[in-house]
């Protein structure tokens, strides 16, 4: 079961990396499109002024219908480009939201799998050491029972194994982390 969990952990970790790269790519594309908007808006203003001037010139017989049509087409094209850029921004935003939701779901999934790995490690360590510790405790307790002032089981356990304090466990922190890293590398 642990191999399955480790495989799932690796799979989810790879999906998270892919999702983070997708978000980064979407953000970069969004930035590029946003940076192009001021230039597109300036182009709209410029082509609108040119179209207006061409219409004025046409009314004053300084230009022909063809010039007016070209300037109007330039203006329409500039408007379409700006509209297209805004539509692209909207789609990029939707895709980024979807990718962020996917990343969140994957992060939660990774946390669940990591918890399952910790549980599997606990079970493995517990089963490996439980029998040995239990046998040794029974042996010591059997000797204790023959003493004139023997202790009852609960007092004996309290005497043999003290409740660990936070500082007692901190010494194992690095070892425990290495144990997890070793488990997921298998």
What is the rounded average pLDDT for all residues in the chain? 87
Average pLDDT over residues 89-102: 98
pLDDT at position 85 is: 97
pLDDT at residue 168, rounded to an integer? 64
Which pair of structure tokens corresponds to residue 12?
């989810």
Confidence tier at 176 by pLDDT (50, 70, 90): confident
Q: Which DSSP letter does residue 165 get?
A: P
CA distance 31 to 92: 10
Give the helix ranges, DSSP H, for 60-185: 65-145, 153-160, 166-170, 173-185
CA gap 36, 92 in Å, rounded: 15
Q: In this predicted model, what pLDDT tens digit does every residue of 129-142 receive, in sequence order?
A: 877 777 787 887 78
Asked whether residue 163 carries a pLDDT value surpassing 70, the answer given is no
What proportion of the chain, given as a percentage, has pLDDT over 70? 89
Q: For position 162, what pLDDT does the model report?
A: 65
Number of Cβ atoms within 10 Å of the Cβ of 8: 16
pTM of the model: 0.69
pLDDT tier, 150 (very low <50, low <70, confident <90, very high otherwise): confident
- What pLDDT is recorded for position 48? 96
Please identify which residue in the block is written with the tokens 């590398």. 185
How confident is the model over 33-76, as pLDDT tens digits?
999 999 999 999 999 999 999 999 999 999 899 999 999 999 99
């Amino acid at each position: 079961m642990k191999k399955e969990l480790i495989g799932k952990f690796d799979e989810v970790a790879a999906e998270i990396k892919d999702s983070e790269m997708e978000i980064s790519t979407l953000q970069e594309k969004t930035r590029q499109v946003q940076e192009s908007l001021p230039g597109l808006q300036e182009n709209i203003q410029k082509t609108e002024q040119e179209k207006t001037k061409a219409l004025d010139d046409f009314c004053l017989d300084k230009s022909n219908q063809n010039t007016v049509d070209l300037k109007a087409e330039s203006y329409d094209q500039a408007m379409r480009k700006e509209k297209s850029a805004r539509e692209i921004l909207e789609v990029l935003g939707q895709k980024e939201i979807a990718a962020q939701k996917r990343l969140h779901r994957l992060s939660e999934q990774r946390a669940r799998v990591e918890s399952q790995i910790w549980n599997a490690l606990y079970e493995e360590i517990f089963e490996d050491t439980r029998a040995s510790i239990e046998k040794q405790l029974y042996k010591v307790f059997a000797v204790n029972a023959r003493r004139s002032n023997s202790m009852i089981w609960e007092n004996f356990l309290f005497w043999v194994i003290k409740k660990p304090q936070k500082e007692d466990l901190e010494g194992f922190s690095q070892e425990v982390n290495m144990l997890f890293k070793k488990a997921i590398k298998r």
